[in-house]
């Protein structure tokens, strides 16, 4: 039942974002990202609702400690973004998640963190023209 509620929220979010405008003459509009997020929420929630019987049979207990570590990582990312800048905060988030929560090797975690930080910076800065915070180090 919660999947249906999330699907409805996704449709509502996508509809509201549509009204903001998805594209301007030369760049993405303010509604593009919320529209994509709402559409993705709708699609995944609908898929989860359709698979409801199968998913219940496979349910495992929730690891609350792991869930709290993810929540702390995301909250820390939000707090660090302005001070450290988008690139450094993204590296910290991905490195913290992969090394601290997922127990990946340092080399793997650092490599993935750097690549994802640079890709996200490039997409937001150049494709979407979003002015990202550079932080105290001036990176970004």
> Is residue 119 domain-resident?
yes
Number of domains observed in the structure of the chain: 2
**56 band by pLDDT with thresholds 50, 70 and 90:** low
State mean pLDDT over 2-26. 87
What is the token pair recorded at 94?
């991905």
Q: What would the mean pLDDT of 119-129 be, rounded to a whole number?
A: 86
Burial status of residue 75 (CB atoms within 10 A of its CB: 0-12, 13-18, 19 or more)? exposed
pLDDT band at 85 (very low <50, low <70, confident <90, very high): very high
**Distance from C-alpha of 79 to C-alpha of 97, rounded to nearest angstrom:** 16
Residue 28 above 90 pLDDT? Answer: no
Residue 54: pLDDT over 60: no
Residues 68 and 121 in one domain: yes
Contacts of 2 (CB under 8 A, 6+ apart): none
Q: Is residue 133 part of a domain?
A: no
pTM as predicted: 0.67
How many other C-beta atoms lie within 10 A of the C-beta of residue 1? 6
First-to-last alpha carbon distance for the chain, in angstroms, is 43
Q: Which domain holds residue 72?
A: 64-127
């Amino acid at each position: 039942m919660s999947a249906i509620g999330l699907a409805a929220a996704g449709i509502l979010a996508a509809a509201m974002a549509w009204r903001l405008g998805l594209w301007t003459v030369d760049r993405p509009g303010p509604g593009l990202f919320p529209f994509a997020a709402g559409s993705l929420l709708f699609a995944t929630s609908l898929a989860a609702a359709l698979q409801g019987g199968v998913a219940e049979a496979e349910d495992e207990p929730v690891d609350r400690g792991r869930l709290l570590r993810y929540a702390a990582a995301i909250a820390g990312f939000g707090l660090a973004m302005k001070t450290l800048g988008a690139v450094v905060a993204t590296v910290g988030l991905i490195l913290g998640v992969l090394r601290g929560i997922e127990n990946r090797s340092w080399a793997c975690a650092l490599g993935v963190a750097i690549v994802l930080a640079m890709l996200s910076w490039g997409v937001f800065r150049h494709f979407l023209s979003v002015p990202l915070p550079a932080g105290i180090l001036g990176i970004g």
